Amino acid sequence: MQKRKLGKSGLEVSAVGLGCMGMSFSYGPPKDKKEMTSLLRAAVERGITFFDTAEVYGPFTNEELVGEALSSLRDQVVIATKFGFNLDPKFDPRGMQGSPGLNSRPEHIKQAVEGSLKRLKVETIDLLYQHRVDTNVPIEDVARTVKELIQQGKVKHFGLSEAGVQTIRRAHAVQPVTAVQSEYSLWTRGPEAEVLPTLEELGIGFVPYSPLGKGFLTGKMDEKTTFDSSDFRSTLPRFTSEALKANQALIDLLAKIAERKKATPAQIALAWLLAQKPWIVPIPGTTKLHRLDENIGAVAVELTSEDLREINSAASKITVQGARYPEKLEQMTGR
């Protein structure tokens, strides 16, 4: 497995990481713990060193799963987790109902970190992200709190998720930001306009989540695909049957390139991301071993500058239908 450094921080991880959320949360009922433990360990055996979780996934159960599965492999892995939500028993991940919302107050961050350390069975969190920007708390206060936690040895690196460029700059001035995590793929290209140039300037790594468009870019969905009510895609505008039908043009494009490269649409989608910048590390999630192997295989797919031009030219003629989140969740991004 090739390695990549997240910006100038010196934090080195596998070129493709593993998003763990779907093992416990959001994509239908939680998966079998024993099976997911085997999958996490199989990922390490195959050279994946970068694992992504959050206290909100479950809540709490995903961190517990990752912590237990990887505790004996601690020296081989980098585990990223996140803080930033008020969590209560009525919390519903699909629409964020039942939650009082965001909370990045310093005392709450410290409390969240103590919980994450216990659940992950670690003495230090490798990479700690603010999950969503809390406009009620100055980002300088958040950065200062994480800086304190770094000085205390409880955290190694600071990250932001779905933050806007001014927030990134302000945070980075107080405590250097190692990575920014936001949604980025061939059907969600918002970060290209301002975020990526800012990260390049500041020497910050970029971690695209949902790099396979929450499963859409694998080419395994069409307008007849339906989602269980426990699957949060059932609430997303981009996953209505009309939107799925309208967006098939992207799959046709990926399939065409995939055939030529003897690869799969998913591998082309990941290879395209890897080709954008050497400091980009996508974290596709999966609960299946064959998909894990497929995703790892993307690292070996080489796209020439001509391939990239062809993809960009064809993609620029495709207008993606449907917002990526319902309005309430969309408002939490890019702040």
Catalytic residue set? 57
Contact in structure between 76 and 42 (CB atoms under 8 Å): no
Compute CA distances 274 → 69, 219, 243, 269, whole Å. Answer: 27, 19, 27, 9
Q: Check the CA dihedral 88-92-96-97 and report its sign.
A: negative
DSSP bridge pairs for 188: 185
How many Å apart are CA 121 and CA 123, to the nearest integer?
Answer: 7
Q: Return the H-helix or E-strand segment holding 176.
A: none
| Dist CA 99 CA 84 (whole Å) | 12
Per the structure block, which two tokens stand in for 197?
């140039």
Distance CA 82, CA 129 (A): 5
Q: What angle do CA 308, 309, 311 make, to 5 degrees?
A: 65
Residue type, 181: Q
Alpha-carbon distances of 209 from 19, 25, 260, rounded to whole Å: 8, 15, 26
> What single string gives the DSSP state of each residue in 97-111?
BT---B---HHHHHH
CA distances from 294 to 163, 189, 263 (A): 30, 23, 9
Q: Which helix (H) or strand (E) holds 232?
A: none
Q: Which two tokens stand for residue 108?
A: 């709450």
Rounded-to-integer distance, Cα 301 and Cα 271, Å? 6
Given the structure tokens 């936690």, which residue do they identify?
A: 149
C-alpha span between 175 and 150 (Å, rounded): 10
